[in-house]
Amino acid sequence: MRKDLVWLFGGVLFFGLLYLLNWGVKAISTDLLVWIGAFLSLAILSFLYQDNPFYKFAEHLFVGVSAAYWMCMGFWNTLVPNLIAKLHPPIVKGVLPAIAEKPPEYWYIIPAALGIMFLMRLSPKAPWISRWALAFIVGTTTGLNLVRYLRSDFVGQIKSTLIPVIVVENGSLSVGGSFSNIVIVLGVLCGLIYFFFSKEHKGIFGVASRVGIYILMITFGASFGYTVMARISLLVGRMQFLFGDWMGLLQ
Partner 1 sequence: MNPDKPKMGFFETIANIDRRVIFLFVGFAVIIPVLLSFSCREEATPIVQSIFDKIESLPEGSKVLMSFDYGPSTVPEVQPMVDAFLRHCCEKNLKIYMMALWGTGHNLISESMEDIIKEEFPHKVYGLDYVNLGFKAGQQGLINVILTDLKKMYTTDALGSEIDAVPMMVDIRNLKSFDLILSMGGGFPGIKEWVLFGGDPGNIPVAGGATAVSAPLLYPYYPRQLLGLLGGIKGAAEYESALIKGYPKFKTYSHPGIDMMGPQTVAHIVIVLFIVIGNITFFMGRKKEEEEKREGGALK
What is the binding site for partner 1 (CB under 8 A)?
48-49, 69-70, 73-74, 77-78, 81-82, 95-99, 102, 140-141, 144-145, 148-149, 151-153, 156-157, 159-160, 219, 222-223, 226-230, 232-240, 243, 249-251
81/93 Cα distance (integer angstroms): 11
Select 123 or 152, whichever has its Cβ closest to partner 1: 152
Please state the closest distance from residue 200 (CB atom) to partner 1, in A: 29
44/53 Cα distance (integer angstroms): 10
Question: Rg for the chain (alpha carbons), in Å?
Answer: 29
Please state the closest distance from residue 74 (CB atom) to partner 1, in A: 8
Select 49 or 205, whichever has its Cβ closest to partner 1: 49
Select 37 or 201, whichever has its Cβ closest to partner 1: 37
Number of CB atoms found within 10 A of residue 29's CB: 15
Please state the closest distance from residue 214 (CB atom) to partner 1, in A: 17
CA-based angle 179:184:187, to the nearest 5? 115
Select 217 or 222, whichever has its Cβ closest to partner 1: 222
Please state the closest distance from residue 67 (CB atom) to partner 1, in A: 12
142/149 Cα distance (integer angstroms): 10
> In sequence order, what are the residues at sequence separation of 6 or more whose Cβ sits closer than 8 angstroms to the Cβ of residue 43?
54, 55, 57, 58
Please state the closest distance from residue 222 (CB atom) to partner 1, in A: 6
Please state the closest distance from residue 156 (CB atom) to partner 1, in A: 6
CA-based angle 238:240:246, to the nearest 5? 90
Q: Across-strand partners of 169? A: 172
53/65 Cα distance (integer angstroms): 18
Select 116 or 207, whichever has its Cβ closest to partner 1: 116
Select 123 or 223, whichever has its Cβ closest to partner 1: 223
Asked if 140 and 133 count as a contact pair (C-beta separation under 8 A), the reply is no
